[in-house]
Amino acid sequence: MALLNIRTDKDPILRKTSRPVIEVTPRILTLLDDMVETMRRANGCGLAAVQVGVLRRVVVIEVEEGTVYEMINPEIIESEGHQEEAEGCLSLPDRWGVTSRPMRVTVKYLDRKGKERTLTGEGLLARAICHETDHLDGKLFIDVMIREAEED
């Protein structure tokens, strides 16, 4: 596994739309492994492939230690409720803002074996799914931010 370079907000790649993964290849599996290692080393709870310079629809999320969700071609198919919470991003270091996200989302995706799965997440997991899938469409949390988060 390797640590990947996280792109920051000045990098125009973050505003590009990621392409779907057609086939789960060894290269995609390596990308997933490297993304998990990179996310953990950066103390993040999610990472999209575009954040490491790869324009593919791939995300990893770990909001609960030891439970990693690897999602290929994720698509939110249901959402409900509402939450307004502070959000940050590994590509926007030291910037926090309050966003409005659904309280609960269901996402359809492929796992690392190419099997279609669905996952329903609430609270922080729902927010992370929305945040990471936004990255795949070239959106950053500052695009949906209601206001800057107040410092404690």
Q: Which residues are catalytic?
A: 132
**Alpha carbons 133 and 18: distance in angstroms, whole number:** 10
Question: Is the Cβ–Cβ distance between 121 and 78 less than 8 Å?
Answer: no
Please give the biggest Cα pair distance in the chain.
45
Question: Is the Cβ–Cβ distance between 58 and 28 less than 8 Å?
Answer: yes
- Which of 121, 75, 88 has its CA nearest to residue 6? 88
C-alpha 152, offset from chain centre: 25
Other beta carbons within 10 Å of 93: 11
Category of 81 on φ-ψ map: left (φ > 0), alpha (ψ -120 to 50) or beta: left
